[in-house]
Structure 1
Amino acid sequence: MPGETALEYLRNAWYAAAAEAEITRTPLRRMLLDTPVVLFRSLDGNPVALQDRCAHRFAPLSRGTLLGDELQCGYHGLRYDRGGRCVHNPHGPRIPAHADIRAYPLASRYGFIWLWPGDPALADAALLPDLSPFDPRPGYRTQWGYLRIDAHYQLVIDNLLDLSHVEYLHPAFASGGAIGNTRHEVIEADGVVHANRWKPGCTVSPLLGRCWGRPDAIGDARSCIRWHPPCTLFLDVGATETGADPGDGVTLSFLHLPTPESGTRTHYFWAATRSHSPDDDELTGWIQATTERAFMLEDEPMIEAQQDNLGPGADMASLHPVYLAPDLAPVKARRILARLIEAERGAQPAGIR
């Protein structure tokens, strides 16, 4: 993608670009991996993503008008079809050479629109991680949210893979008496990092207690998250009676999708799904408000302050941070991603890096 910082982004991968409901017949501009993209739905309902930059004077096409399935530039009237081809020049019979723009492969799954910024020939929806708990299912309630964080996307991934911070930063998610009694395991398998925290005999968090209908219950709690490169994280949190099978208690699943906007800004898409009391609108509203408060008023300010301390473009490892036991998963993820980016860069001709 033009303008991309090669050392920061893996290109041949799927990134969440928008929630399904965001894409309509009104063109939506979104900066993704330092590149402007315009998203809209064609007349048949399929999502379309084009580079949001007219080939003429580089005006944003998102400021233009959809005419059927053609997007007309609002500056001088060139029109582009959903494949990025310039199909109409109102200033003469000839379509100028090199007037086409890039169209991006998309996939619609799990309530989100995913964009492939790399080689279109390599785009395959089968490469999306298995996030099947977020497929539409009877008896489940799923909700979504979004925020923008003024920080590098890897800081957001670090935050999610080290859930020890929950006990200090998120009162609604904290499990009383858990921090000294937690069994933490990190597993790396096939390029996926799993970070599992098992908290026996603790006071269940307010979030799980409310979903379970048992505030202040004592039980076995868990928070198990897995990271798929570059930016997909699936989190399973739950609680049971002490010593019971995890399937017998309450489960709440989260999807975290931090997509880089730039080197210092991140789109943070999230979703939550549950089977407990799916028709309870009051509970749904409480989960939405509690989750948004945790992300916007607790995580976001801390990560942004961390970014301010690091400065733009700073390499965290070069500052020689102190590493603690819960850092193993974030460090593994950073190393895997660095290897993937380096391998991708090495496979490209030098002239297009």
Structure 2
Amino acid sequence: MFLRNAWYVAASEKELGEQLLALTILGEPVVLYRKSDGTPVALEDACPHRKLPLSMGRRIGDQLECGYHGLTFDCSDSCVKAPGSTHIPKGARVHSYPLALRYGLIWIWMGDIEQADQAKICDVPEWGDPQWGLNRGDSMVVSCNYLYVTDNLLDPAHVAWVHQSSFGNAACASEPLKTTVIDDGVIVSRWMRDVEVAPFYAKFVKFSGNGDRKQHYEVRYPSQAIIKAVFTPAGTGTDDGVLHEQVFLMNSYNFMTPIDEANTRYYWFQVRNFDTDNAEVSRQFDEDVRHAFAEDRVVLTAVHQGMTNKRSPNIDLASDAGPLRFRRNLARLIAQEQDNSLITHQPPVVSAVGG
């Protein structure tokens, strides 16, 4: 169900304060806390004695004490104290997860520690560039499997119906989609020519009248999406050469972390090429994006329930080509990872030598 050898967002940096933060990630209980120097730590949220969550215990300096019998663990997974015992019991360890800080987010690696390369974290080339404004975004929990969210983020067509008052309008209803498979994901895109600017964007574009609009929906394995919105005066939209000086560009970065098979934690932020230092524009963007994503949450929650309890087979549409390609390729990666894990953990073959 999940690709483990990948970076997922565990929390935003602002979410993790002085208190212990209990999370479920890929179905596993995890506890996060900060050391005295502010460095975040992530441990398995289960004492090896009777599996009481360590998040029900307390911090003692940089160490974590279980609230049941006082077993105490350092931030690297070792038990350093076992009250009432003459020695540290064998097996008194908890798993420690690699973490990384990037883009105001705390990233966690849930798989093989030796493969936890921070270079694999999604690149955001606009981050820190003064020519781009930043909407710091937010997060929410969606009561659905994470693949319904990746479906949604590879589906430009849905905006015509789900987001009629924000991202979409009648122009989004019927224009054909182009699906492109890349090494690390799938892209679904299209240009819409000489169309009315959708309500969300009309507040911010610098030109008047109709425009050419490009929707670029890109999802990378296992669950990171880059949504690019381009609006330029009608007749000037192109993928080649220089775009019009009044072009509107907004890139939305979206990160889905599966909580379990039925719930997803969704993080996002946007960068824009206009009004880069305008706090009011950032506030308005954040408010409007949160509203639009709440519309998605209502639909995706109902989709998960409908698909879980369906009484008849569901069908696929032409607009599902991108999501279906993504699902098939991701399933292949998960199967390969599981096969490799089985090979790695196979007991050695012992040959019998007869005389």
Q: What TM-score do you get using the length of structure 2 for normalisation?
A: 0.89
Equivalent position of 1:309 in the other structure: 306
- In structure 1, give the amino acid aligned to 2:2: Y
1:110 touches 1:132 (CA, 8 Å); kept in 2? no
* Counterpart pick for 1:338 among 331, 334, 342: 331
**What is the percentage of aligned positions where both structures have the same residue?**
33
* CA contact 2:155–2:217 (8 Å) conserved in 1: no
Given the alignment of the two structures, is residue 293 of structure 1 paired with residue 291 of structure 2, yes or no?
Answer: yes
Q: How far apart, in 2, do the equivalents of 1:39 and 1:217 lie?
A: 50
1:131: how far off? Answer: 2.5
1 or 2, which has the higher helix percentage?
A: 1
Q: Which residue pairs with 1:41 in the alignment?
A: 34
Question: 1:205 and 1:16 mapped to 2: Cα distance?
Answer: 31
Q: Which residue number corresponds to residue 5 of structure 1?
A: none
> Can you list the C-alpha shifts for 1:85-120, whole angstroms capped at 9, x where unaligned?
111122234111111000011121222211111111
Query: Aligned residue for 1:179?
Result: 173
SS at match of 2:42: strand
Which of 12, 15, 25 is equivalent to 2:8?
15
- Which protein shows a greater Rg? 2
Query: Cα distance, 1:64 vs. partner?
Result: 2.2
What secondary structure does 1:130 align onto? coil
Deviation at 1:75, TM superposition (A): 2.6
Q: Which moved more, 1:121-130 or 1:336-345?
A: 121-130
Matches within 5 A, 1:129-208: 129-133=122-126, 135-139=127-131, 140-170=133-163, 171-180=165-174, 182-208=175-201
Structure 1, unmatched stretches of 5+, are 1-7
Partners of 1:58 and 1:44 in 2: how far apart? 28
CA contact (8 A) 1:178 1:202 kept: no
Residue 261 of structure 1 corresponds to 259
Q: Is 1:101 matched with 2:91?
A: no
Closer/same/farther in 2, CA of residues 246 and 183 from structure 1, 3 Å limit: farther
Alignment equivalent of 1:56, drawn from 49, 70, 75: 49
Structure 1 pair 72/189, CA: closer, same or farther in 2 (3 Å)?
same
SS in 1 for 2:299: helix
CA distance in structure 1 between the aligned counterparts of 2:277 and 2:23, rounded to whole angstroms: 33
Q: Is the 8 A contact 2:160 2:171 kept in 1?
A: no
TM-score between the two structures when normalised by the length of structure 1 = 0.89
Query: Cα offset for 1:47?
Result: 1.7
CA distance in 2, matches of 1:173, 1:33: 31
- State the aligned residue count: 338
Query: What does 1:319-334 align with in structure 2 at a 5 Å threshold?
Result: 321-334=314-327
Whether 1:239 and 2:231 are equivalent positions in the alignment is yes
Describe the SS at the equivalent of 2:202: helix
Displacement over 6 Å in runs of 4+: 350-353
CA gap of 1:119–1:351, structure 2 versus 1, over 3 A, is closer
Unaligned runs of 5+ in 2: 237-241, 347-355
**Matched residue type, 2:258:** P
Q: Partners of 1:295 and 1:235 in 2: how far apart?
A: 13
For residue 74 of structure 1, give the secondary structure of its aligned residue in structure 2.
coil
- Counterpart in 2 of 1:270? 268
Residue 4 of structure 1 aligns with which residue? Answer: none
